[in-house]
């Protein structure tokens, strides 16, 4: 290949109108174009040669195209007639142009440093592949080159540097309970060759309805039930946004409030008791505690003929009488008598019976008041 390049270079030198190549042996010496088109006559293959030969209009031309003369950061490459530049066999630039001192093909004149130079596509000015010092931008893309055989600068369209494959994933989602109604979320993710943009927590109820969508890690609700939370994690890679959920889904439950306790009147026992509100039965209970106030009354016990006190709801008319007079002792019957004396005695006897009944009732009340 090298022999072919050198042979072609000899032909190119003749085409460019140059003089004899300055080399002792075509097999060993580097290709040098010592002709009128060379920006650096006979080229430059080392830092020392560049330091020595880049002067005057050459220095002005390099500055115009932003070409460095410090080759410590340059790589070995080749400028091809098809308008590409390769390094280690890989194309790093296309649509390559170069500049020389003579008009060749479809050249375009440009004056730099008081000297007229000519720009043209590499397909017009480069007849064979030329070794070159290739320079790169800070992002690793092609910047420009210097062809060693002639010192002519070359530039072109950089081939975009392959972007590393991004990797991103939502790893896990943890739900922590702060109180009966308050919860916090925490999504863990991994990312490589991309950047995390945001995490959105989406909460759905048991029916699948979205009840919350927020970047906040906190969630609160008073409504009891089972909920599902999904972490939607968004990453930015190569200028685009990507949202993933993976397995970042979790469930949590808001429990019902404990049943409230209330005091009621138990209708059967007439006692005030405490029950859970959910256990209330209007047939057994009353929320009116006054319904447990038991009223007592005095009645005549028809069996014993005594005046007793009972609960009002215990009254049984077959056993009791609210007429206390029904407990008065029965009068003793006397033989009937005639005459004034008998009549007087009858009146006196009747009065005595009434007085006795009145006395019995009054005495009973007095005893209860003591």
Using CA atoms, how far apart are residues 27 and 5, in angstroms rounded to an integer?
A: 11
Looking at the fold, whether 184 and 248 belong to one and the same domain comes out as yes
**What are the tens digits of pLDDT across the range 145-202?**
999 999 999 999 999 988 789 999 999 999 999 999 999 999 999 999 999 999 999 9
Partners of 142 in the β-ladder: 136
Looking at the fold, whether 181 and 154 belong to one and the same domain comes out as no
Looking at the fold, whether 7 and 32 belong to one and the same domain comes out as yes
**What are the tens digits of pLDDT across the range 335-370?**
565 555 444 444 444 444 444 444 444 545 544 444
In a domain, 231, yes or no: yes
Looking at the fold, whether 153 and 187 belong to one and the same domain comes out as no
Is the entire prediction scored with pTM above 0.95? no
Structurally, the chain folds into a number of domains equal to 3
In a domain, 299, yes or no: no
In a domain, 117, yes or no: yes
Looking at the fold, whether 33 and 174 belong to one and the same domain comes out as no
Residues 6+ apart with CB under 8 A from 161: 139, 140, 141
Looking at the fold, whether 90 and 178 belong to one and the same domain comes out as no
In a domain, 85, yes or no: yes
Q: Domain holding 216: CATH number?
A: 2.60.40.10
Decide: 321 and 300 in contact? Cβ < 8 Å.
yes
Using CA atoms, how far apart are residues 136 and 148, in angstroms rounded to an integer?
A: 17
State percent of the chain over pLDDT 90. Answer: 62
Using CA atoms, how far apart are residues 74 and 132, in angstroms rounded to an integer?
A: 9
Confidence of residue 6 (pLDDT cuts 50, 70, 90): very low
In a domain, 235, yes or no: yes
Nearest Cα neighbor of 92 from 57, 34, 133, 50 is 133
In a domain, 366, yes or no: yes
Stated length of the chain: 370
| 3-state secondary structure (DSSP) of residue 50 | helix
- State which of 129, 158, 187 marks the end of a domain: 158
In a domain, 302, yes or no: no
Looking at the fold, whether 153 and 171 belong to one and the same domain comes out as no
Show the domain range for 240: 167-254
Looking at the fold, whether 99 and 141 belong to one and the same domain comes out as yes
In a domain, 64, yes or no: yes
């Amino acid at each position: 290949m090298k022999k072919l390049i050198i042979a072609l270079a000899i032909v190119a030198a003749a085409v460019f109108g140059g003089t004899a190549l300055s080399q002792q042996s075509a097999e060993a010496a580097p290709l040098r174009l010592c002709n009128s088109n060379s920006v650096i006559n006979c080229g430059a293959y080392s830092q020392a040669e560049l330091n020595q030969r880049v002067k005057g209009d050459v220095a002005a031309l390099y500055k115009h195209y932003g070409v460095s003369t410090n080759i410590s950061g340059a790589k070995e490459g080749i400028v091809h007639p098809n308008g590409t530049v390769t390094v280690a066999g890989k194309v790093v630039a296309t649509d390559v142009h170069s500049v020389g001192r003579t008009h060749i093909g479809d050249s375009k004149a440009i004056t730099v440093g008081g000297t007229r130079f000519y720009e043209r596509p590499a397909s017009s000015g480069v007849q064979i592949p030329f070794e070159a010092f290739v320079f790169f931008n800070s992002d690793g893309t092609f910047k420009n080159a210097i062809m060693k055989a002639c010192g002519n600068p070359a530039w072109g369209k950089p081939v975009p540097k392959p972007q590393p494959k991004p990797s991103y994933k939502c790893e896990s989602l943890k739900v922590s309970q702060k109180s009966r109604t308050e919860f916090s979320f925490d999504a863990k993710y991994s990312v490589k060759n991309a950047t995390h943009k945001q995490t959105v927590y989406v909460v759905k109820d048991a029916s699948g309805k979205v009840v919350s969508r927020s970047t906040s890690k906190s969630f609160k609700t008073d409504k009891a039930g089972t909920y599902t939370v999904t972490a939607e994690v968004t990453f930015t890679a190569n200028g685009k946004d990507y949202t993933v959920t993976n397995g970042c889904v979790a469930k949590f439950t808001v429990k019902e409030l404990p049943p409230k306790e209330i005091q009621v009147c138990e209708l059967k026992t007439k006692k005030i008791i405490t029950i859970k509100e959910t256990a209330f039965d209007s047939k057994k209970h009353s929320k009116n505690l006054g319904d447990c106030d038991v009223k007592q009354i005095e009645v005549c016990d028809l069996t014993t003929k005594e005046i007793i006190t009972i609960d009002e709801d215990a009254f049984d008319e077959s056993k009791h009488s609210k007429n206390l007079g029904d407990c008065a002792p029965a009068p003793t019957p006397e033989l009937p008598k005639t005459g004034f004396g008998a009549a007087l005695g009858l009146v006196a006897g009747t009065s005595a019976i009434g007085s006795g009944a009145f006395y019995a009732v009054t005495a009973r009340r007095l005893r209860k008041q003591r």
